[in-house]
Amino acid sequence: MSDSVDLAFVRPVTGISCPPSVHVFVGRTVAVKASALPGAAYLEWAIGHDYYARVSVYGEVTGLNPGETTLRITARNGVTKVIPVSVTVPVSSISVLPDTAEVEIGKTLKLEASVSDAHYPDLRWSSSDTRIAKVDANGLVTGVKAGKAVITATAKDGSGVKDSATVTVYQGVTGIKLSAAQLALTTSQTAALKAALSPSKPKYTGVEWTSSSTGVATVANGVVTAVAPGEAVITAKAHNGLIATCAVRVYPPAQSIAIAGQSEVVPKGKVQLTASALPEGARQDFTWATSNYKVATVSQTGLVTGVKLGSATIKATAKDGSGRFMTFTVAVITGASGVRLSSARLVMKPEEMKTLTAAVSPWNAAHKEVTWTSSNEGVATVANGVVTAVALGDAVITAKTHNGKAATCAIKVVMATESVEITGKGEVELKGKVQLTASALPADALQEFMWSTSNYKVATVSQTGVVTGVKLGTVTITATSNHDKTKYKRFTVAVITGLSSMSLSAKSASLAPGQALTLKPVFSPSSPTHKEVAWVSSDPTVATVENGVVVANKPGEATITATAAYNGKTATCVVSVSNPNTKASG
């Protein structure tokens, strides 16, 4: 009777809720949660292959051997759910090496982890403080800032097995610099190099020193020792491999020194001295000194500056430690401040000789001698100031003092002037101008002249031959050769009254055929020197003109034009010739 009551209230099972799969370690048990849908119902459990696992009536699966099998869950009404079961061997131990390590800020360190024989050996890496050190999925640790962090490797198979390493992050060397980038040493000399690390207080301050050529230079704790002539590179290496280098050149010691240069200098003047050391290959750097800085000073490049008159001994000492030196006497003298020649220009004939003299200033200059040169010895040569004309042309003679002051004389070699000619107009208007041109013969003679007037109150003349009328009258203009004053030419110029404008006594006239009309020119100014006029008719068939007398011929119109012969000024009159019955006017 009770069984029939139970069947009346149990709803049929339509499905089973359970995990999609089961994982269990060998030797361990896991409870699988499953339930019938809908509501509660009794479930039966069965394992597919009992070699790999077994299951209890309560759904507890125990791993027996590694492998794959299935779990069958069945309701009383036959509804079944089968899910896969995976049985694996768990990770039993992990070993992270090294268990303690150091890494620089910004650098990386690889940790290695060994896992005991397990089915799933995958690991998950983590850092106890990512502000100090970070770790990626492969155990690569990156230093972030100084401090300590624990890096842990944990098995991903759920076994909970893990191991860790302690990593110390420290400040490393970020830069290294030597106290000298280059060294010049003589055999057996020593020099101390210092290595400056940055930042100033890294954890490891040690430096390793090496030489690229111990046959040239050795190094120990930064002390470089020159062994033999040649070149070597000294290297300082920090603990993390950063390096700095110094180029070392070893020279043979100087055996002797020579000084070259001018031995004289003027006050406030400068002269460059040059020192050289032997043998070849010796260092060519020196320390310079003066015996009397009140007379002359010397720079460390050998540049001597005169201070006051006198002499000083300049000393150049080799810097190679050999102790070799050389002295050089420099006199501070009164130098030439300028030079002037007796002529700035000479005009000469071929084979002619003229003497130039040179005056050097000041009067007490230590050297008054000059050096003479010609810019064109094919035209003129010079020796001790004596200039000899060689051929036609131009040359410049230069006289130069000992300290480079110079003066010049322009030389022009021409043919002798035989005669002078003047061309141009012989008249000039009052206050007007006229250009005269002079020429010397032969053509290769000097074409330069001096112009003069016999009466500057009547006319003046410029040195380019331009004559200006001053008042009415006549003057004689003379052009004299600048090469030969005995050769000249005179030219007469009359100052006249010019003609500025002209008109006729009538601007128009009306005539009958056969009638005549006399036209007269009206000048401005009223009395020009030249009054000649030429007359012409535009149509002689209408009216003719002769000496200003116009004769009408036939009806029509003609223009009578008067032209001044002196300068071409013109004036016109329009003549109208009417029929015979028309009354004439004019």
Per-residue pLDDT tens over the stretch 507-539:
999 999 999 999 999 999 999 999 999 999 999
Tell the residue number behind the tokens 């000492």, with chain if given: 317
CATH 2.60.40.1080 residue ranges for the chain: 15-88, 93-170, 175-251, 256-332, 338-413, 419-496, 501-577
Band (454; pLDDT cuts 50, 70, 90)? very high
Query: Which H, E and C letters describe 233-260, residue by residue?
Result: EEEEEECCCCEEEEEEEEECCCCEEEEE
Confidence check: pLDDT of 5 > 70:
no
The 380-383 sheet, strands edge to edge? 353-355, 386-389, 380-383
Tell me the CATH class for 256-332: mainly beta
* Residue 8 reports pLDDT greater than 60: no
Q: What is the dihedral of CA 478, 482, 487, 488, to 10 degrees?
A: -10
CA distance 282 to 271: 25
The one-letter amino acid at 27: G
Instruction: Name the nearest CA neighbour of 571 among 505, 497, 498.
Output: 505
Please tell me whether the peptide bond between 12 and the residue prior to it is cis, using omega within 30 degrees of 0.
no
CA 3 and chain centroid, separation:
112
CB count in 10 Å sphere of residue 57: 9
* Radius of gyration in angstroms for the set of CA atoms belonging to the chain, rounded to a whole number: 63
CATH 3.30.830.10 is the classification of domain 15-88? no
What is the topology classification, in CATH, of domain 93-170?
A: Immunoglobulin-like (2.60.40)
Residue in the block written with tokens 């020197």: 529
Task: Read off φ and ψ for residue 9, nearest 5 degrees.
Answer: -105, -5
CA angle 261, 265, 267 (to 5 degrees): 155
Which pLDDT band holds residue 159 (cuts at 50, 70, 90)? confident
Buried b / exposed e over 447-479, threshold 16 CB at 10 Å, is eebebbbeeeebbbbeeebebbbbeeeebebbb
How confident is the model at residue 141, as a pLDDT?
97
Cβ atoms of 263 and 331 within 8 Å: the answer is yes
Q: Give the domain 338-413 fold.
A: Immunoglobulin-like (2.60.40)
- pLDDT at residue 199, as a whole number: 87
- Considering the domain delimited by 501-577, tell me its CATH architecture: Sandwich (2.60)
What is the DSSP pairing of strand 543-546 with strand 108-110? unpaired
Beta-strand relationship, 80-88 and 22-25: parallel
pLDDT above 80: residue 489: yes
User: Cα–chain-centroid distance for residue 152?
Assistant: 61
Question: d(Cα 187, Cα 401) in Å, to the nearest integer?
Answer: 48
Grade residue 201 by pLDDT with cuts at 50, 70 and 90. Answer: confident
Q: What is the phi/psi pair of residue 5, to 5°? A: -65, -45
What's the topology of domain 419-496?
Immunoglobulin-like (2.60.40)
What percentage of residues in the chain have a pLDDT greater than 70?
97
Question: Distances from the Cα of 423 to the Cαs of 371, 426, 442, 565, in angstroms?
Answer: 46, 9, 16, 21
Q: What is the mean pLDDT of the chain?
A: 93
CATH for 175-251 (2.60.40.1080, 3.30.590.10, 2.60.40.10, 3.40.50.1000): 2.60.40.1080
**Residue 571: is its pLDDT beyond 70?**
yes
